[in-house]
Amino acid sequence: MLLNESLCMELSADDIAAVERLAGRPATTDDQRGLLLKSLPRMRERHQVLRTSSLAEDQSPAIAFHLPVPATKSADDGVVLPVSSIQTWDGEMGSLAFAPVFFLAELIRAQRVTSRQLVELCLDRMDRFAPDLYCVVSRVSGEVALAEADRADAEIASGNYRGPLHGIPYGVKDSFATVHLPTTDGVRRWADRILGYDAEAVKRLRDAGAVLLAKLSMGELAMDDVWFGGKTRNPWFPEAGSSGSSAGSASAVAAGLLPFALGGETWGSIISPSAICGTTGLRPTFGRLPRTGVSALSWSLDKIGPMTRSVADCALIMDVLRGADGADVSAMEAPFSCDFTAPLAGLRVGYDVAGWDALSKSGEGAESLLAMYNAAKETMERLLGTTLIPVHLPEMTPEYNTLPMGIIDVEGAASYAAFIADGGLDELVRQGEDNWPNIFRLAQTVPATEYLQAQRVRSHLQSEISRVLEGIDAYITPSCWGESLRYTNLTGHPEVITRCGFTEVAGMPVSLSIVGDLWNESAALRVAYAYEQEAGWHTRTPKN
pLDDT tens across 278-326, in order? Answer: 999 999 999 999 999 999 999 999 999 999 999 999 999 999 999 999 9
Model confidence over 55-78: pLDDT tens digits?
776 777 767 888 988 877 678 889
What domain range includes position 152?
A: 78-395+460-539
Judged against a pLDDT cut of 90, whether residue 196 lies above it is answered with yes
Model confidence over 316-357: pLDDT tens digits?
999 999 999 999 999 999 999 999 999 999 999 999 999 999
Q: Are residues 223 and 304 in the same domain?
A: yes
Query: Quick one: pLDDT at residue 36?
Result: 85
Whether residue 268 is contained in a domain is answered as yes
Dihedral sign for Cα 491, 496, 500, 506, please: positive
Query: Quick one: pLDDT at residue 9?
Result: 66
Q: Are residues 49 and 129 in the same domain?
A: no
Query: Quick one: pLDDT at residue 354?
Result: 97
Q: Are residues 159 and 10 in the same domain?
A: no
Please state the rounded mean pLDDT for residues 223-238: 97
pTM over 0.85: yes
Q: Are residues 181 and 43 in the same domain?
A: no
Mode of pairing for the β-strands spanning 303-308 and 280-283? antiparallel
Query: Quick one: pLDDT at residue 2?
Result: 42
Judged against a pLDDT cut of 50, whether residue 234 lies above it is answered with yes
Cα angle: 257, vertex 495, 408; to 5 degrees: 90
Q: Is 224 left (phi over 0), alpha (psi -120 to 50) or beta?
A: left
Model confidence over 10-53: pLDDT tens digits?
889 998 899 888 878 788 898 888 888 888 888 778 777 776 77
Continuous segment of H or E residues that includes residue 414: helix 405-415
Q: Are residues 113 and 230 in the same domain?
A: yes
Query: Quick one: pLDDT at residue 121?
Result: 99
Catalytic residues: 173, 245, 269
Q: Find all residues with CB under 8 Å of 7, minimum gap 6, and list them.
A: 41, 44, 45, 48
Please tell me the distance from the alpha carbon of residue 286 to that of residue 262, in angstroms, as a whole number. Answer: 15
Q: Are residues 22 and 169 in the same domain?
A: no
Residue 326's CB is within 10 A of a number of other CB atoms, namely: 9
| Mean of all residue pLDDT scores within the chain | 93
Q: Are residues 17 and 157 in the same domain?
A: no
Q: Are residues 90 and 29 in the same domain?
A: no
Query: Quick one: pLDDT at residue 6?
Result: 54
Domain count, the chain: 2
Continuous segment of H or E residues that includes residue 230: strand 230-231
Q: Are residues 23 and 131 in the same domain?
A: no
Q: Are residues 157 and 217 in the same domain?
A: yes
Whether residue 410 is contained in a domain is answered as no
Query: Quick one: pLDDT at residue 243?
Result: 97
